[in-house]
Amino acid sequence: MTASAIFTQALDLESLRAAVQEEYKLVALEPEHSFHFHTGRPLAHLLGYPDAWLADIPESTIESFAGTGNPFRLGALQPGERVVDVGSGAGIDSLIAARMVGPNGQVIGVDMTPAMLEKARHNAAIGGFTNVEFREGLAEALPVPGGWADVVISNGVLNLIPDKGAALREMARVLKPGGRLQVGDILVEKAVPEDAKSDINLWTG
């Protein structure tokens, strides 16, 4: 039995997903709410997003940003590239990527939270983004063909997934050979007690 299998047995996966969806539904619908993490434009500045990247992103998308890093600082996206954004939320990174890859490129954002998908789709439409689409799905089962993407980006999502190996294998599946993985996430330096690993409140807060 793998470590991740032991891990997920101790945790009710459906309850965890429901708790994560509820937390991020709140980020989508009530971004002014007080969270245990920074959000919105102040967070984007903290993570090194220049104003130029945000200039034509709808404010309604920016206000629901809840990333933990900056995938674009890991390497520039090139015109014409295909990008998958795993856990795309309200769509800020997908829309930035869409501008970077240009009209000959394509971006697919994947998220499991309906409220985030609705917000991302609405803002892509009002912002005139024609080379991005948002699909409902899980990081462990991406609704994207194998070998489709030049780059997979993700921001603040892997830490919410118990079986990180499964999510990473799925990211590798959708990448072309030689494709790049560019991720913002979190690193926990201290050992997390076993009882804490099965505490859903700690996963979301």
Quick one: which of 55, 99, 93 has its CA closest to 79?
99
Element at 84 (helix H, strand E): strand 82-86
Among 80, 102, 114, 205, binds another protein (CB under 8 A): 205
Positions in 49-108 near another protein (CB under 8 A): 68-71, 73-75
According to the binding rule CB under 8 A, does residue 128 interact with another protein? no
Task: Give min distance, CB of 126 to another protein, in A.
Answer: 28
Q: Which long-range contacts (CB under 8 A, 24 or more apart) does 160-164 make?
A: 160/20, 160/87, 160/203, 160/204, 162/4, 162/7, 162/8, 162/11, 162/13, 162/16, 163/4, 163/5, 163/7, 163/8, 164/4
Range in contact with another protein (rule: CB under 8 A) among 78-86, 96-104, 109-117, 166-174: 166-174
Distance CA 64, CA 30 (A): 8
According to the binding rule CB under 8 A, does residue 7 interact with another protein? no
Positions in 131-160 near another protein (CB under 8 A): none
Read off the tokens for 73.
């600082």
Residue 194 three-state SS: helix
According to the binding rule CB under 8 A, does residue 188 interact with another protein? yes
According to the binding rule CB under 8 A, does residue 3 interact with another protein? no
Positions in 28-57 near another protein (CB under 8 A): 34-38, 43, 46-47
CB of 21 or CB of 204, closer to another protein: 204
According to the binding rule CB under 8 A, does residue 26 interact with another protein? no
φ, ψ dihedrals at 154, nearest 5°: -160, 150
Among 41, 121, 122, 180, binds another protein (CB under 8 A): 180
Quick one: which of 166, 183, 151 has its CA closest to 71?
183
Residues that bind another protein (CB under 8 A): 34-38, 43, 46-47, 68-71, 73-75, 164-165, 168-169, 171-173, 175-190, 192, 196, 202, 205
